[in-house]
Amino acid sequence: MRTAFPILFNLAVCFTTFGAASSAPNIESGWVALSRMDSIQAKSDFSAVTATRESRLGHALTLLGDADKTAANLENCRRELIELRDEDPNDDYGIAATYYLARIAQHYDKEPNVAAIISTYRDLLANHPGHPVAELAAPKLAMLLLYADVSSNEQDARFDEIESLLPSLTHPHNQRDTRLVLADALLRLRRNHARAYPLINHCLEQNLILRSTRLNQYLLQAAEAARKLGLRSEAIRHCERYIETFPHDDKTDEVGRRLQRLKGEDDHA
């Protein structure tokens, strides 16, 4: 069974950062614990306050992160989320419940209803623009749409659909993740450097890529894409940033050689 922690982390961060102020200290500490992947402490904190929709949401999600995860835990989580969604699908907790029901179906159902999951993600984005949890659906929607086995024309439409979402995404991590999923798909499926490069470059210029392994990857991709597009000065900039950021990486010497070749091309241009 796939780990639940990746699908829990973003929500915990959202409620820690963006969520409404909690009246009970236990609830706030519960979200912090969940963001640190400490589901045992989170469960204790949320269980101490059971009368609010926020604590019920938190408690439901801790069931996904239990070390002794069982089918019963998963079904109890799903049942609590359904209750929260059905009571009020439009407040913070109903929106989060709707999102996580789709994520649970995607991750844990033996034969997930992909069309229904896609519909849920689209509805969240259309009905709750700017909401930090609803926006988590954008990169997940992109993954489902862009890597499906469809005709070339349908794939073009899906690329356009995801790209059209970008101006409406207001939270940096959602903007970043959606841009990078789109860029990866453009490179892997279409080798379209011209369309992918601005997406990656935006994330680099805005310092949105925080994890070092991802920054390493996307600096290399940006440098190569810029080189292929004839953007020497930008390729040089990405190589120099790579060397400065990762001076002891096993690829740094090769990046240095690329940098010298690029500067030589500039000298003879």
pTM of the full structure: 0.88
- What is the rounded average pLDDT of the residues 109-127? 97
* Range 192-269: architecture per CATH: Alpha Horseshoe (1.25)
Q: Between the CA atoms of 245, 221, 194 and 164, what dihedral angle is there, to the nearest 10 degrees? A: -80
pLDDT score recorded for residue 266: 53
pLDDT score recorded for residue 94: 97
Could you tell me the pLDDT band of residue 35, with boundaries at 50, 70 and 90? confident
Cα separations (Å) of 31 from 48, 69, 95? 13, 19, 17
Q: Whole-angstrom Cα distance, residue 222 to residue 9? A: 28
- What is the rounded average pLDDT of the residues 200-228? 97
pLDDT digits (tens, 9 = 90+) for 140-157: 999 999 999 999 999 999
pLDDT score recorded for residue 257: 97
Q: Check: CB of residue 61 under 8 Å from CB of residue 33.
A: no
pLDDT digits (tens, 9 = 90+) for 36-69: 878 788 888 888 877 789 989 988 988 887 655 6
Q: Whole-angstrom Cα distance, residue 180 to residue 187? A: 10
Q: What tokens does 105 get?
A: 């179906």
Q: Whole-angstrom Cα distance, residue 262 to residue 233? A: 8
Domain ranges of the chain: 192-269
**Token match 């407040």: residue?**
91
Collapsing DSSP to helix, strand or coil, 49 comes out as coil
Q: Check: CB of residue 174 under 8 Å from CB of residue 135.
A: yes
Q: Whole-angstrom Cα distance, residue 167 to residue 1? A: 36
Q: Whole-angstrom Cα distance, residue 117 to residue 112? A: 8
The H-or-E segment that residue 62 falls in is helix 53-65
Cα separations (Å) of 180 from 28, 102, 203? 31, 22, 8
pLDDT score recorded for residue 34: 82
Residues in the chain: 269
- What is the rounded average pLDDT of the residues 203-213? 97
Q: Whole-angstrom Cα distance, residue 197 to residue 184? A: 10
